[in-house]
Amino acid sequence: MKVLKNVFLVLGLLVVAGAGALLIKNAWDLRILYEIAMANKSQPSVGNPTNLVLIGAGLAAAGGVLLGMGIGMPKRTAGAVRHDAIEELQRREATPTEAPVQTADPRA
């Protein structure tokens, strides 16, 4: 789980960074589109950036989910927890305990 957790963290951060880059690009395109629309209403040189805005929003959502999963996953696997518990049990059994108290008379 530790490897998967780190993979999700890295993927989540990369997707969030990509979504941020797309957001900046789309903001720039929308500004240009607005300037063109205001200056000359018959110029079709800039495409509609709506699809990129939707892709950016989807990537941001996916990155948030991956980042949340990466943060929320346990640091240790179930096998590691089980191994530690078995070692502790063996350590407790190996330590010498107090000698049993004799209740019967040894002379008999």
Question: Which pLDDT tens digit goes with each residue over 63-84?
Answer: 888 888 888 877 777 788 888 8
pLDDT at 77 (0 to 100):
76
pLDDT at 42 (0 to 100):
65
Lowest mean per-residue pLDDT among 25-29, 52-56, 88-92, 103-107: 103-107
> How far is it, in rounded angstroms, from Cα 3 to Cα 43?
52
Task: Tell me what percent of the chain is helix, strand and coil, each rounded to the nearest 5.
Answer: 70, 0, 30
HSE of 89, CA atoms in CB hemisphere, 13 A:
6
**62 CB neighbour count, 10 Å cutoff:** 16
pTM for the structure as a whole = 0.51
Convert the pLDDT of each residue in 96-106 to its tens digit. Answer: 665 555 666 65
73 contacts 4 by C-beta, under 8 angstroms? yes
Q: Please, what is the average pLDDT of the chain?
A: 78
